[in-house]
Every structure is written in C-alpha cells, then in structure tokens.
Amino acid sequence: MTPAAASTHTATPAFDRSHTDDLIAYLQSSPSPFHAVAEAAARLEKAGFRQVEETAAWDATPGGRYLIRGGALVAWYVPEGATPATGFRIVGAHTDSPNLRVKPVPDTGADGWRQVAVEIYGGVPLNTWLDRDLGLSGRLALRDGRVVLVRIDEALLRVPQLAIHLDRSVNEALTLDRQKHLTPIWGLGEVDEGSLISYVSAAAGVAANDVVGWDLMVHDVQPPSYLGRDRELLAAPRLDNLLSVHAGTAALAAVAAAGTEPDHIPVLAAFDHEENGSESDTGAQGPLLGNVMDRSVYARGGTHEDRARALAATICLSSDMGHAVHPNYSERHEPGHHPMPNGGPILKVNVNNRYATNATGRAVFAAACEKAGVPWQSFVSNNSVPCGTTIGPITAARLGIATVDCGVAALSMHSARELCGADDPFLLASALKAFLES
C-alpha cells in the first residue's frame, strides 16, 4: 500500500468548480477579518438570516440569526420544534491570516524614502512578503463611535528585497530582521506625519481628523487564480483559513434553505485571532461562542439543566487548513500519511491533543463524508516535526464539548500566497453540509 493510499478514503465525488469560483470572489472581497465577516454576513442575509445585537433581548422564534463582533461572526439556525435542551452542531473556523499590520504611529522613513511602520502578525514566513505589490485594508474607528471598513486594492506598498549584488550569500542563508527589514516603502520624500491615515481616510470617504483608531493590514493585490496544466490547483492568499469560513457559510446557508428541519441547531463560529493564540474577546479562548449557546438555550425558556443537556448533545467540527505532502520536502512528513490536493478533506489527528480528534470524532467525520459522497484523508505529523494546533482543542476545553479537527490539505501555509486543490473547497463544503444537516 502506498503512503497516499494508506491515508485516503475514496468515494465518487461530483466536482463543482462554481463553488471555487465563488470562493475566489469571497477571497477578493475579504482582505481583512472585518471584510471576511461582512461578506459572510451578506451571504447569510441572502439565505434569510437576520442580524441580532448582543445588547438586545433575543427571542425564541425559529430561523437563522447571526451576530458580528469585530472580526468574528457566529451564525445559527433554530429549527421548528427545537427545545431548550436541543444540542448544537458547530462548524468552527477563523477569519485571520498571518500578515503585516500597521503600527499606531505609522509614518516613518529613511534616506529620502517614505515608509509605513508595521508589526508582524502571527507566524509569518517573512520572505514571502518581499517584492510583492501590497494593498491596505481593515477598519477605522471614528470620533462619533462609528466603525468603517476600508480596502485599497492597488499597488500602494512594497517591501523591497536587497539586491543580490549587495548580499552574495542570500541564496545560502537569508536572514531578515523583523524590525529593520520588513518596513514597506510607499513613496519618496521626507516623513510626513499623518499622511498615511489621511490617505486611507480619503479612500474610506471620511475626514482624517475624525479618525481616532485603526486596525489596518497589508494584503497582496495579486488576485487568486487557477494554476497548473489542467487548472487543478488554486493559488490564493488567505486560504488559511477563509477557505473554511466560506465553506462553513455555504454549508449553513444550504442547510437553512433545505426545507428539512434538522434535529439540532446548526452553527457557524468564525473566530478572530487564531494565528496569535485566540486570547481575545473575539477569539476561541473567549466567551463569545459559549455566550451565544447559553443565550439561545435561555431564549427558548431553558434552565441550567437544559443548558447542560444541550452541551452534552453538542459536537464541533473545527475546520482549518492542513499540510499536503510537499514533493521537495517529503522527509518532513509522516511516511504513512501523505495527504494530496483534491483527495478530499483531511482528518487531523494528534495524540497530544494539538488536534481534538479521537475515535468517536473520526466516526462522526467519516459518516459526514460518506453521506456527502466525498473522499477523505488522514493527517498526522512526523514525530520529529512539531505539530501545529487549532481552535479545536481550545473549543473542546473551553466548552466541554466533543470536537473533531479537519480541513483541506495545502502547500505554503501561512505564506502571503498559498496553494490547494481546486476541487477541495467544494468537497469540504459538501462534508460540512452533511455534518450540519445529519
């Protein structure tokens, strides 16, 4: 048995590239977590979901609801006949990606160059941000309390690499100082304090003196594209983890529109700040998802006992990107588990609980894939290579609910531009839909 065959569970899928086309549109519209949740909310609105405010009282009527807090979104569908003790089926994902983020005093420069001061967000392969045309996106907080989104999709910034003539050892060992070498340029001239925020404010259609805060980040302006001789691959930014957010949104909307009421409450939880530990009011370590579940139970007249029963009947599928076997570095992978692009979603396993999957979770995942008619694969790390983690173990421990880790196999994870199979987004969305409706 080959390594690939040892980790692959086959089925006969019906590929649908229209889903990937829509993912490409979603990625283009979502350069920041704030844009990602706004775009997901727009799709849910079209499916009949309505936004609720955390400060308002919630009612018990059936139907789809969602809330937005910063760069996080939680959406859920209450079916007809749901009781206070009805359990939840949750798809968990995250909206943030590693990148460069603008500092509080952004205007800087040296030697006649105007530059923008940035901070490194998450686990960034620094070299992937060199010599790319970069735009700017995020949100502005205004003096009157409003928050506006801004997206500049033009070649505004660039982090230039040192020419090889000035560093002949660059191909032997490239060492980048995170403070000195990652500062983007955006023009010529003396440092002009306030010029960046003035420029961004104008792009957002607001007065610069009304802006009192910002969460801004750079993004690669090169659009996503199909790649390869047969266009069987997808090259794009932010696949980790907007591919899962998009798949979860599509799956939840499809379940709500199916006309067959599930016997549980389907949920999408798209958290922020997974890439730096999830410790925030919008991260998986925070109380956001738990509060939504509690309020849903209590809005239906539930008690603390009903809440305990509902959580005991709940299961979460944590969906995040994983590693495909790299043909140039196959020794870094576990020899018996070589996930491949377009081989279907991957089940992620780690006995030290870096992933939350166990035997019963594997059975749930396998049943969803079988129902959807999609293949699936197993992923486990090489024993000699440290294993990453996800929101899965955090969610399991935070809420005390059964949790399974899955995702899509990719190359170049955390790069400014990542690579996956062009059919895998549809296969993952199909499995998530089957999980939410089963």
233-252: pLDDT as tens digits: 999 999 999 999 999 999 99
- The answer to whether residues 407 and 335 belong to one domain is yes
Domain-located, residue 225: no
DSSP, collapsed to helix, strand or coil, labels residue 318 as: strand
**Do residues 264 and 288 both lie within one domain?**
yes
Report the CATH number that the domain containing residue 172 is assigned in CATH: 2.30.250.10
Q: How confident is the model at residue 9 (pLDDT cuts 50, 70, 90)?
A: low
Q: 31 with 47, same domain?
A: yes
Q: In this structure, are 118 and 36 located in the same domain?
A: no
Q: Would you state the pLDDT for residue 223?
A: 97
- Same domain for 138 and 68: no
User: 220, 254, 272 — which closes off a domain?
Assistant: 220
At residue 7, does pLDDT exceed 80?
Answer: no
Q: Are 221 and 99 in contact (CB under 8 A)?
A: no
**Cα–Cα distance, 182 to 158 (Å, whole number):** 9
Model confidence, pTM: 0.95
Beta bridge partners, 317, equal 91, 404
> Do 165 and 279 share a domain, yes or no?
no
Please give the order of strands across the beta sheet that includes 315-319. Answer: 8-9, 376-379, 346-348, 402-407, 315-319, 88-94, 265-271, 72-78, 63-69, 50-51
Same domain, 103 and 87: no
Q: In terms of domains, do 418 and 366 share one?
A: yes
Q: Which token pair is 320?
A: 């995040």
What is the pLDDT, as a whole number, of residue 331? 95
Residues in the chain: 438
Range(s) of the domain holding residue 138: 99-220
pLDDT per residue as tens digits for the range 187-235: 999 999 999 999 999 999 999 999 999 999 999 999 999 999 999 999 9
- Using CA atoms, how far apart are residues 290 and 51, in angstroms rounded to an integer? 18
* Ranges 8-22, 46-60, 100-114: which has the least confidence: 8-22
Residue 2 pLDDT: 38
One domain, residues 296 and 350:
yes
Mean pLDDT score of the chain, rounded to an integer?
95
pLDDT for 10: 56
228 falls within a domain: no
Question: What is the domain-level CATH number for residue 344?
Answer: 3.40.630.10
Please indicate, yes or no, if residue 18 is contained in any of the structural domains.
yes
Domain-embedded: residue 308: yes
Tell me which of 220, 252, 286 is where a domain ends: 220
* One domain, residues 311 and 430: yes
222, HSE (Cβ side, Cα atoms, 13 Å): 13
Asked if 95 contacts 32 with a C-beta cutoff of 8 angstroms, the reply is no
Confidence of residue 438 (pLDDT cuts 50, 70, 90): confident
Tokens of 86: 């009805």
Give the count of domains, the chain.
Answer: 2
pLDDT of residue 15: 64
Residues 55 and 110 in one domain: no
pLDDT, position 260 = 87
Q: Are 105 and 82 contained in the same domain?
A: no
For the record, the structure tokens of 327 come out as 């043909």
Quick check: is 227 in a domain?
A: no
Q: Is position 157 within any domain?
A: yes
In a domain, 42, yes or no: yes
Cβ-Cβ contacts under 8 Å for 255 (sequence gap 6 or more): 77, 262, 266, 433, 436, 437
- 230 lies in a domain? no
Distance between CA 248 and CA 93 in Å, rounded? Answer: 8
